[in-house]
Structure 1
Amino acid sequence: MYKSIFILLATFLLSGSVVAQKSGNEKLFKDRYIKKTMKKALDWQLENPKHELYDWTNGAFYAGVFAAYETIGSKKIWNAMYEMGEANDWKPGPRLHHADDHVICQTYIDMYRVSGEKKMIEPFVETMDKFIATPYEADGIFEKTWWWCDALFMAPPAFVKLGITLDEDKYLKLSDKLWKETYDLLYDKEHHLYARDMSYKWNEPGIEEKREANGKKIFWSRGNGWVMGGLVRVLSELPKDYPNRDFYIKNYKEMAAKIVSLQQEDGLWRSSLLDPDSYPGGEASGSGFFCYALAWGINNGILDKETYLPAVEKAWVGLNGLIQPDGHVGWCQPIGADPRKNFVADSWEVYGTGAFLLAGSEVIKLDE
């Protein structure tokens, strides 16, 4: 009897928390409002370009632009992506093995799937064949090809998209190999989070240990947001019977459970995940990628809806609070390799907008 009462009470409290998240914020979850807000943020960002168009920052942004195109269906959005591709000659960045220079190719491949124009993927195919044929030259402690966690958003989805599109298993196998190397190098199996790179590893010979003010390990919000985003973009491509799919599912579920436990009361995450008191403001880019990844998991039946939906709703409410009057996504941490950067309401970056657009593209799919 007592067990039944406890279950009933827990169910009531959970349903109450969901209602509380949306109470007074119902309009934020309306399809029309989500599209309107996404369009406003996108229009502002397109009018305020930044960085080389092939740069990793824009690779993350245009991943969100394509998601906005699928959500809104605007010819203007397609034209913006097409102009970007033409300006880049549909090429990746110049560094052969550097994951950051491959992320823009995710958008090229997505566009190729719509239009069938081979020029959109031919340069990337040439680059990938050269990548496979050319050994990576290690640099000091960075002996692995992908020695920083951000890389897992940048390159694997592009490799896997190309492999699925062309039915070429070699690209998938390469992605599996390099992801596993990075996992073995950086994944903390106690905390279920990724260190940003080897310089944030602990108890490693020759590496000075770094800790937060509260003595805890340093886990960067956006860095782990990159990984979560990379996981869902790889999983969305891999067939259900793919041999290594379970590895990615396990990694994703472990991280999802941990990430939800670190969400703050305002629905956002701090730039340093284990020391939120030292970073009092919610950060746009990490929070955007977490919202995107968690919503995707619900929409695809991988994450339990009752457990994770309240977190996604809190995150979406919080993210909308970061949109500034002119439409730009504020409170975005600047470029850097750690949480230690100051940012304010006016702080923006193109990848912050990309993360917001990706989040909106999944939140709009949530069942009522």
Structure 2
Amino acid sequence: MNNYKKTIQVLVGLFFVLVAFSSCKEVKKDNQENQSVKELVVSDTLKWSERMMLSEIQRFPKASLLDFRETPKWSYTNGLVLSAASRVYEQTNNQKIYDYIYEYADEMIDSIGTINTYKLSNQNLDMIKSGDVLLYLYSKTNEERFLKAIETLNSQMETQPKTSDGGYWHKKIYPNQMWLDGLYMAEPFHTKYALDFVEDKDKAQKIFDDVVLQFDLIQKHSRDEKSGLLFHGWDESKEQRWANKETGNSQHFWSRGMGWYGMAMVDVLDFLPENHPGRERIITYLNQFAEAITAVQHETGLWYQVLDQGDREGNYLEATGTSMFTYAFAKGVRKGYLDKKYLAVAEKGYQGLLDNLISIEDNGVVNLNKCCGVAGLGGNPYRDGSFEYYMNEIIRSNDPKGTGPFIMASLELNR
């Protein structure tokens, strides 16, 4: 009987040990789950715009090193991402994002307004883009050094070399050439500068006219009448190896080139006065653009690197152009420039990005994959604008020329 009692006592004791062990495991599991939530550096409860912006800050803790740089540089990619950042900040009041923007300007503009690494003599339209950041910060801070730097960038616009009919050369090293990229790099800045800082009405009007002229000329020289798409570059001299000897155009319709152009139109319209006669022309160009771009959208919602050659071997569905088109369509509809049917095109493009090109790290950091790293025309080594050229440029994740427009598209669609 005593042995029976002892056996019962041992079994009861074992039962309580097992219960205690099981409880400890549950507590440990709960603690591990809580720990994994705490380890998220980017919360998955935020909207996509803030998630991507905070992911960019995680990837590039200094905004001067955006675009995978090892040393600080004044460049257009910084201006693109930080312009997107300013819009996220206005929505969220996340101080970390404002500080990120300010620290770039603080690092790159010295006490007397000199822009670090910038050379006016290069006459490079790309360098105007980060001026958008200064316009934003000056409105917040009234720091004189930011105004001085703004004036320097405007002085470049006043002296930029031009084609015979008034189109800005893309860079001094690319004489007689207009690229689609240049309209986004320079015209939103130039228009807002005239609106905010030029008190003489005639001078301001001259700038507005000049801005509209750039769109008129790129339509005249670069638009393909058959498809409605625009060629990446135009060489007035027709001397470049990449240029068609009759038209001066490059060979292909590059996705991001047209993306820059679409964003340029919707952003310039923010600042071009309502009564300016060129305003309706730009809206017409935007509608022609939307029709042409919609016609080459893939069934996934994405767009190809070379827009009209999706069936050609090597071509791929690309993230930066897709993000830009999505932003331009969504904003164009919201502002009333485009028919509401294009909102569905934007939504399809955005869903295509989420389904196919977005990935998320264990720590919550968001990646945008399949970005064309860079593409241009001419230069050294020479870029011939061939199909093979566009296919062989580097493809990488989280290129700022994709993440910036993705953030802006996310804001427009309120996703």
Tell me the equivalent position of 1:165: 196
Instruction: Give, as a single letter, the amino acid of the residue that structure 2 aligns with 1:83.
Output: E
Instruction: Give, as a single letter, the amino acid of the residue that structure 1 aligns with 2:413.
Output: V
Ranked by relative contact order (alpha carbons within 8 Å, sequence separation 6 or more), the top structure is 1
Tell me the equivalent position of 1:271: 305
Q: Does 1:108 align with 2:150?
A: no
Tell me the equivalent position of 2:225: 189
Moved more, 149-158 or 234-243: 234-243
- Looking at structure 2, the residues matched to 79 and 201 of structure 1 have their Cα atoms a distance apart, in angstroms, of 44
Tell me the SS of whatever aligns to 1:193.
Answer: coil
- Looking at structure 2, the residues matched to 351 and 62 of structure 1 have their Cα atoms a distance apart, in angstroms, of 11
Is this contact kept in 2: 1:226–1:289, CA < 8 A? yes
- Looking at structure 2, the residues matched to 297 and 135 of structure 1 have their Cα atoms a distance apart, in angstroms, of 31
Tell me the equivalent position of 2:155: 129
CA 1:315–1:119: 2 relative to 1, 3 Å: same
- Return the TM-score normalized by structure 1: 0.78
CA 1:304–1:127: 2 relative to 1, 3 Å: closer
Alpha-carbon displacement from aligned partner over 1:2-26 (angstroms, at most 9, x marks no partner): xxxxxxxxxxxxxxxxxxxxxxxxx
The percentage of counterpart residues that share the same residue type is 24
CA 1:114–1:341: 2 relative to 1, 3 Å: farther
Picking from 206, 209, 224, the partner of 2:258 is: 224
Is this contact kept in 2: 1:38–1:68, CA < 8 A? no
Instruction: Give, as a single letter, the amino acid of the residue that structure 2 aligns with 1:273.
Output: L
- Looking at structure 2, the residues matched to 259 and 131 of structure 1 have their Cα atoms a distance apart, in angstroms, of 30
Tell me the SS of whatever aligns to 2:358.
Answer: coil
Is this contact kept in 2: 1:289–1:359, CA < 8 A? yes
Alpha-carbon displacement from aligned partner over 1:43-96 (angstroms, at most 9, x marks no partner): 334337333441122222222222222233211111111111112106383245
Is this contact kept in 2: 1:220–1:272, CA < 8 A? yes
Tell me the SS of whatever aligns to 2:253.
Answer: coil
The aligned runs of 1:15-164 (5 Å cut-off) are 32-47=46-61, 49=66, 50-51=68-69, 52-89=72-109, 91=115, 93-96=118-121, 97-129=123-155, 131-133=157-159, 143-144=175-176, 147-164=178-195
Alpha-carbon displacement from aligned partner over 1:282-319 (angstroms, at most 9, x marks no partner): 211101110100000111112121x1122111111122
CA 1:320–1:95: 2 relative to 1, 3 Å: farther
- Looking at structure 2, the residues matched to 115 and 77 of structure 1 have their Cα atoms a distance apart, in angstroms, of 16
Instruction: Give, as a single letter, the amino acid of the residue that structure 2 aligns with 1:248.
Output: I
Is this contact kept in 2: 1:232–1:296, CA < 8 A? yes
Instruction: Give, as a single letter, the amino acid of the residue that structure 2 aligns with 1:43.
Output: I
Instruction: Give, as a single letter, the amino acid of the residue that structure 1 aligns with 2:264.
Output: G
Q: Does 1:235 align with 2:255?
A: no
Instruction: Give, as a single letter, the amino acid of the residue that structure 1 aligns with 2:91.
Output: T
Instruction: Give, as a single letter, the amino acid of the residue that structure 1 aligns with 2:218.
Output: T
Q: CA RMSD in A?
A: 3.0
- Looking at structure 2, the residues matched to 147 and 257 of structure 1 have their Cα atoms a distance apart, in angstroms, of 23
Highest Rg: 1 or 2?
2
CA 1:37–1:130: 2 relative to 1, 3 Å: closer
Tell me the SS of whatever aligns to 1:242.
Answer: coil
Structure 1: give runs of 5+ residues left out of the alignment: 1-29, 211-217
Picking from 323, 329, 334, the partner of 1:294 is: 329
Is this contact kept in 2: 1:56–1:101, CA < 8 A? yes
CA 1:120–1:157: 2 relative to 1, 3 Å: same
Tell me the equivalent position of 1:260: 294
Tell me the equivalent position of 2:8: none
Tell me the equivalent position of 1:12: none
Deviation at residue 114 of structure 1 after TM alignment: 3.1
- Looking at structure 2, the residues matched to 172 and 31 of structure 1 have their Cα atoms a distance apart, in angstroms, of 42
Moved more, 347-356 or 169-178: 169-178
Tell me the SS of whatever aligns to 1:297.
Answer: helix
Tell me the equivalent position of 2:317: 282
Instruction: Give, as a single letter, the amino acid of the residue that structure 2 aligns with 1:84.
Output: Y
Deviation at residue 116 of structure 1 after TM alignment: 3.2
Moved more, 49-58 or 238-247: 49-58
- How many residue pairs end up in the alignment? 325
Deviation at residue 280 of structure 1 after TM alignment: 5.0
Alpha-carbon displacement from aligned partner over 1:221-262 (angstroms, at most 9, x marks no partner): 000000001111101111221221112111111101111121
- Return the TM-score normalized by structure 2: 0.70
Tell me the SS of whatever aligns to 1:328.
Answer: strand
Instruction: Give, as a single letter, the amino acid of the residue that structure 2 aligns with 1:353.
Output: T
Tell me the SS of whatever aligns to 2:300.
Answer: coil
Deviation at residue 133 of structure 1 after TM alignment: 4.8
Tell me the equivalent position of 1:4: none
Tell me the SS of whatever aligns to 1:266.
Answer: coil
- Looking at structure 1, the residues matched to 54 and 358 of structure 2 have their Cα atoms a distance apart, in angstroms, of 9
Q: Does 1:333 align with 2:383?
A: no
Is this contact kept in 2: 1:195–1:219, CA < 8 A? yes
